[in-house]
Amino acid sequence: MRVLVTGGAGYIGSHTVKLLGEQGYEVLTYDNLSTGHDWAVLYGDLVVGDLADKELLRKVFSEFKPDAVVHFAAYIVVPESVREPLKYYRNNVVNTINLLEVVEEFGVDKFIFSSSAAVYGIPDEVPVSEEAPLRPINPYGETKATVERILRDIKNSGKGMRFVSLRYFNVAGADPEGKIGFAYPNPTHLIIRAVKTAKGEYDRLEIYGTDYPTPDGTCIRDYIHVVDLSQAHIDALRYLQEGGESDVFNCGYGHGYSVKEVVEAVKRVTGVDFEVVEAPRREGDPPALVADNKKIKRVLRWEPKFDDLDFIIKTAWEWELKFSAQNQRL
């Protein structure tokens, strides 16, 4: 199968390209390198291009002739989406429409979309199932929910394109072989910030809020290893290949850890006792966000291999040490 991967030079995209390559798929990455890196694309060619450039997209589709598209390319920083909503709607929605128009023009009938647990906002029930209402609480989540609705409407139009939308929970960790990992400037995510603090890049780690209605007062999240998440995309491709219907799936392990538990685990795994300070709540953080993952296990036959917080942190830590060493050499 020939798979076009938008955003294949980014964090989750590059791990998925690696798995696709290892599992015998022909892969082509389309990425504008705004946050991705050419060195992260380990299989297939990289076309440096923007989804706003429909002519280039058409050229790539006519030459590569993809059987399926996996669409990662998007902006992902929630606070930035609050400050710059148009930037997010333009890239995450308008540019996705460009891509979908070309997908339709070329008759590609399989489409995998990177969605997010952010579509749920603050869910009424945890673990949250795919049936829960879409109530995003920030522009980033709105863009993901909007594209999900567009995909649903395309499906209802009967045009023949089928899609799988994967709603990611908290993605973390790195390639266990150490070839690729998270490499964005100014990360906001907890595990990355914690390992960077352990490494000495930051003086201290802030815990945003200790008065949540959870057992230790800090927020609970479902942390999923990036390789298990990448495999879910390949399981989704296989599902569509076998004739599966369009659908949406949560991607998480179905259980969570509090911020304090994660911080303790990072200290244990790294062996570094860094400074931690309690800070005010961050706006828009739900107290708990955990996936009900029964559907993805049943329908896509997804079998996670790395459901182990210490392993997630270990791979993130090893990558962080290696990546900073690489940067110093450059």
| Binding-site ranges for ligand UDP (CB under 6 A) | 170, 188-190, 193, 205-208, 219, 221, 259, 282, 285
Q: How far apart are CA 302 and CA 190, in angstroms?
A: 26
Least distance to ligand UDP, CB of residue 234, Å? 23
Element (H, E) at 275: strand 275-279
Cβ nearer to ligand UDP, comparing 198 with 237: 198
Least distance to ligand UDP, CB of residue 259, Å? 5
Residue 213 corresponds to which tokens in the numbers above?
A: 């209605």
Least distance to ligand UDP, CB of residue 75, Å? 14
DSSP string, 55-118: HHHHHHHHHH--SEEEE------HHHHHH-HHHHIIIIIIHHHHHHHHHHHTT--EEEEEEEGG
Cβ nearer to ligand UDP, comparing 163 with 169: 169
Least distance to ligand UDP, CB of residue 304, Å? 19
Cα dihedral sign, 203-208-211-215:
negative
Q: How far apart are CA 6 and CA 54, in angstroms?
A: 13
46, 9 Cβ separation under 8 angstroms: yes
Least distance to ligand UDP, CB of residue 221, Å? 5
Q: How far apart are CA 272 and CA 288, in angstroms?
A: 27
CA distances from 131 to 79, 127, 240, 304, 318 (A): 27, 11, 21, 22, 38
Per the annotation, the verdict on 208 as an active-site residue is no
Cβ nearer to ligand UDP, comparing 147 with 316: 316
Catalytic residue among 25, 75, 140, 253: 140
Pairing type for strands 257-258 and 220-221 reads antiparallel
Q: How far apart are CA 190 and CA 172, in angstroms?
A: 9
Cβ nearer to ligand UDP, comparing 2 with 282: 282
Cβ nearer to ligand UDP, comparing 22 with 310: 310
Residue nearest to ligand UDP (CB): 219
| Catalytic (active-site) positions | 140
